[in-house]
């Protein structure tokens, strides 16, 4: 759970409950959201494109292409944007493989995530590891 210390309404001290915080001063509840993200599996000749993480968290580990949605961004738009940013490739989204929850630890905080996993077909671009990716392999 994300750790908060102060109420966003009155700046009073927060008391930690099981799935939320409650302000000691104004008694309002502060709910902890799940952070939405997408993972994309571009397919070529029966192989899946994977990315080696170039930054923390989990630097050096293999991962799917993907990332977090910007505020108000549609998941399908995010999937195309993240693929372009990380690989240089343009994609056509295929099937939604599933929706799963996970935890994402970053700089001592643990964020609960809600992830949408897609298959994708490559329709353009030139493959190159970019953004927070250090290497790409099929």
List the domains of the chain with CATH numbers. Answer: 1-32 (no CATH), 35-137 (3.90.79.10)
Distance, C-alpha 128 to centroid of its chain: 20
Cβ atoms of residues 82 and 65 within 8 Å: yes
| pLDDT, position 49 | 99
Q: How far is CA 32 from CA 35, 37, 130, in A?
A: 9, 16, 32
Beta strands at 20-23 and 14-16: parallel, antiparallel or unpaired:
antiparallel
Rounded to an integer, the average pLDDT of 17-23 is 93
Report the sign of the C-alpha dihedral through residues 88, 55, 31, 18, in that order.
Answer: positive
Q: How far is CA 24 from CA 19, 20, 28, in A?
A: 16, 13, 8
Buried b (16+ CB within 10 A) or exposed e, 78-94: bbbebbbebbbbebebe
Q: Does 110 or 50 have the greater pLDDT score? A: 50
Token match 């709910």: residue?
Answer: 31
CA atoms within 13 A on the CB side of 34: 13
pLDDT above 90: percentage of residues in the chain: 91
Confidence of residue 2 (pLDDT cuts 50, 70, 90): confident
Confidence of residue 1 (pLDDT cuts 50, 70, 90): low
| pLDDT, position 60 | 98
Confidence of residue 19 (pLDDT cuts 50, 70, 90): confident
What confidence tens digit (pLDDT) does each residue in 61-110 have?
999 999 999 999 999 999 999 999 999 999 999 999 999 999 999 999 89
73 classed as catalytic: no
Cβ atoms of residues 69 and 38 within 8 Å: yes
Catalytic residue among 56, 105, 121, 135: 135
């Amino acid at each position: 759970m994300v750790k908060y210390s102060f109420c966003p309404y009155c700046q009073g001290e927060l008391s930690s409950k099981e799935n939320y915080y409650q302000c000691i001063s104004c008694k309002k509840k502060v709910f902890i959201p799940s952070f939405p993200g997408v993972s994309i599996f571009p397919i070529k000749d029966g192989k899946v494109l994977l990315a080696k993480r170039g930054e923390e968290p989990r630097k050096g580990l293999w991962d799917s292409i993907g990332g977090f949605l910007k505020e108000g961004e549609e998941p399908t738009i995010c999937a195309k944007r993240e693929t372009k940013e990380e690989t240089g490739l343009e994609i056509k989204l295929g099937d939604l493989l599933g929706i799963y929850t996970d935890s994402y630890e970053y700089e001592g905080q643990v964020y609960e995530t809600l992830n949408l996993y897609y298959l994708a077909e490559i329709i353009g671009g030139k493959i190159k590891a970019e953004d927070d990716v250090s290497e790409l392999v099929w």
